[in-house]
Structure 1
Amino acid sequence: MSETERLTVGALISVLVLVAPGFLLHEAPRFPGSLAGGLLGIAGASLFVLLLIYSLVKRSTWVRVRVSKYVSLRALLSFHVYAGVVGALLGILHSGHAYRSPLGIALVVAMLTVVLSGFVGRYHLAQLGTDLREQRERLGVLRARFDQIAAEAAAHHGGAAIVSPGPGLRALALLVSGDGVTVSGTPVLRLVGAVADLEHAIGRREAVKRALSRWTVLHIAAALVLYPLLALHIWNGIYFGLRWLR
């Protein structure tokens, strides 16, 4: 996952979120049935159908072995992400912001849920996991330094006693002699504050990660709703369109 890819997809998501409620400013009820509107709809639906390629390759060993000779799973995932966002954007433009039928509204909601849940899982949770790993590494370094200072204080500073902090620093006690709060050139209170702040930040990120850990369930459930709605929408367009031509 490159920074360029994340920024590009994030920009497309932002455009999609801004364009979706366009009915507040503009409606074009006849646009979905026009030539331009129809082409946008066909292009968007085609991209959503192509999204299934990644799911098929990922879940079928037989298919993955044969497809991986020509294209990597990572490349397919990137296509999956871009096709989903662009397909949703084309679908919103195809609607002309005329959200009047229950089918159309349900389709738009399912489409946006699929795209947004996929974005959260692909980029936000991945970045959250990276941040957590880095913070835990920094916390380990700070705790190791704290333990070293505690040992030095116990050996060389008879008037100072440092009790090593337990989880969350709830059991921390710090008694410092008149010599100050610096041990071996390290400000002890500042070090303790850094450990406490880092533990608090890790706790908040872990809570967010747990809350968003079910994104895959939401993503798949929304997709299972999306494709039947899309098929019904296409069937309605063909049926009533041919009927109108007669």
Structure 2
Amino acid sequence: MLLMAVALFLPGFLLHTAPRFPGSLIGSLLGIIAALLFVLLLAFSLAKRIPWLKRRASLSAMLTFHVYAGAIGAVFGILHTGHTYQSPLGITLIVAMLVVVLSGFVGRHYLARIGNDIRAQRVELGTLRTRYDAIAGGIASMLKGGSIRTAAAGPLDVPVPTLVAGIADLEDSIGGREALKRTLSRWVVAHIVAALVLYPLLALHIWSGIYYGLRWLP
């Protein structure tokens, strides 16, 4: 839902601009909230890497917070921009933010869903192969016993071509999903690189806002 909100806000860059909004009181508050949420994202990274934090923190709960804070931060960050293209720094910051959020979504949800689908398809494939092996074994036994007529009649009640086609389709589907999973497994690289770009840009953006003055202050 939050990612859908981000996707719906993006076309606003083409339809609406408010150059003075980012420096206004409301615009600044939205930017501050977005910045705080993205700073809080570091808590999960620290908890994973610091032993005493890892023992005391619930990584599952922190991961959930990590995901939602990133998505909500992206929404506030896009609202903060006022849909302006005036600042190269701001545009680069938005792009890095979106890469962080979308790559995190791929790793947290989409890859997990693909893994579940592959496991379910492997179970189904195993069932079909077991059925096929049983049919093939029955045919071999009947042929060995010389009952050619029975061997010929028996398989007619079983949709062997459909069974074989189902096995082939599942094998192709599993292969395709595994290839996609291998490709998307590089999400963590994009996630880390984008984060390494994001935080220095965020610090520079905050500094420039303070340095050039906040218009809403008296």
In structure 2, distance between residues paired with 1:35 and 1:90: 14
The answer to which structure, 1 or 2, has the higher relative contact order (CA under 8 A, 6+ apart) is: 2
Aligned to 2:8: 18
Question: 2:142, 2:148 within 8 Å by CA — same for their partners in 1?
Answer: no
Question: 2:24, 2:216 within 8 Å by CA — same for their partners in 1?
Answer: no
Question: 1:44, 1:86 within 8 Å by CA — same for their partners in 2?
Answer: yes
State the identity %.
62
The question of 1:207 aligning with 2:179 is answered yes
Question: What amino acid maps onto 2:50 in structure 1?
Answer: S
Bigger mean CA deviation after superposition, 116-125 or 15-24: 15-24
Aligned to 1:241: 213
Question: What amino acid maps onto 2:87 in structure 1?
Answer: S
Aligned to 2:26: 36
Question: 1:27, 1:96 within 8 Å by CA — same for their partners in 2?
Answer: yes
Question: What amino acid maps onto 1:140 in structure 2?
Answer: G
Q: Which has the higher strand share?
A: 1
Aligned to 2:164: 192
Structure 2 spans left out of the alignment, 5+ residues: none
Q: 1:92 aligns with which of 71, 75, 78?
A: 78
The question of 1:49 aligning with 2:39 is answered yes
In structure 2, distance between residues paired with 1:245 and 1:140: 68
TM-score w.r.t. the length of structure 2 is 0.92
Question: 2:3, 2:71 within 8 Å by CA — same for their partners in 1?
Answer: yes
Question: What amino acid maps onto 1:64 in structure 2?
Answer: K
TM-score w.r.t. the length of structure 1 is 0.82
Question: What amino acid maps onto 1:35 in structure 2?
Answer: L
Q: 2:100 aligns with which of 108, 111, 114?
A: 114
Question: 1:21, 1:97 within 8 Å by CA — same for their partners in 2?
Answer: no
Question: 2:25, 2:216 within 8 Å by CA — same for their partners in 1?
Answer: no
Which runs of structure 1 show a deviation greater than 2 angstroms over 4 or more consecutive aligned residues?
A: 157-160, 179-182, 242-246
Give the superposition deviation at 1:221.
0.6
Give the superposition deviation at 1:156.
1.4
Q: Deviations over 1:80-131 (max 9, x none)?
A: 0000000011000000010221101100000000000000100000010011
Q: 1:228 aligns with which of 200, 205, 208?
A: 200
In structure 1, distance between residues paired with 2:174 and 2:217: 62
| Cα RMSD after superposing both structures | 2.0
Q: Which has the higher helix share?
A: 2
